[in-house]
């Protein structure tokens, strides 16, 4: 009997996180899977929080709670970072003789161009015009999303 109890105790200690997810956790997981699906439907499209919440089928408050839980930031911030990265990709791929920073910014939903340039520089360390005028070969990492790895979607994919 003592041997059986020891084995049971060791089994419990070896796998302490073995429990069924709560209904709330399951619901949040489902919401985040839908959130990811909405983002992946058209990866180049600028999305906004209200339309994403509607597409996911949840309130803004629920989407915000889930994003904070899974991504460490609200959906508005996450979508802003996503749009900034899409703009960077577009600037990196564009020709400076055929495109302007203003065109790229407006295509990605940025209307305050000074604020866009300031946030772009804070995130990427250079002005958008610098990215546009640099040959594509000089910035091969431009297609990489600049969002910390721990904010990715791997945990609910």
Domain 83-143: top CATH class:
mainly alpha
Position 16 scores a pLDDT of 55
Give residue limits of the domains in the chain. 83-143
138: pLDDT confidence band, cut at 50, 70 and 90?
A: low
pTM exceeds 0.85, yes or no: no
Position 102 scores a pLDDT of 95
Position 21 scores a pLDDT of 57
Q: How many CA atoms lie within 13 A of 82 on its CB side?
A: 22
| Calculated CA dihedral for residues 73, 47, 52, 39, nearest 10 degrees | -80
Contact 132, 101 (CB under 8 A): yes
pLDDT 10s digits, 22-32: 677 788 889 99
> Which of 49-58, 102-111, 129-138 is predicted least confidently?
129-138
């Amino acid at each position: 009997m003592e041997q059986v109890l020891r084995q049971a105790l060791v089994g419990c200690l070896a796998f302490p996180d073995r429990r069924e997810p709560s209904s709330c956790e399951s619901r949040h997981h489902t919401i985040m899977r839908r959130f990811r699906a909405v983002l992946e439907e058209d990866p180049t499209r600028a999305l906004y929080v209200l339309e994403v919440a509607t597409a996911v089928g949840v309130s803004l408050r629920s989407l915000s709670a889930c994003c904070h839980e899974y991504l460490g930031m609200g959906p508005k911030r996450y979508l802003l970072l996503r749009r900034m990265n899409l703009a960077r990709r577009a600037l990196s791929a564009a020709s400076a003789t055929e495109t302007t920073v203003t065109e790229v910014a407006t295509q990605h939903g940025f209307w305050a161009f000074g604020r866009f340039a300031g946030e772009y520089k804070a995130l990427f360390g250079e002005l958008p015009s610098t990215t546009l005028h640099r040959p594509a070969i000089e910035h091969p990492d431009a297609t990489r999303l600049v969002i910390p790895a721990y904010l990715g979607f791997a945990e609910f994919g």
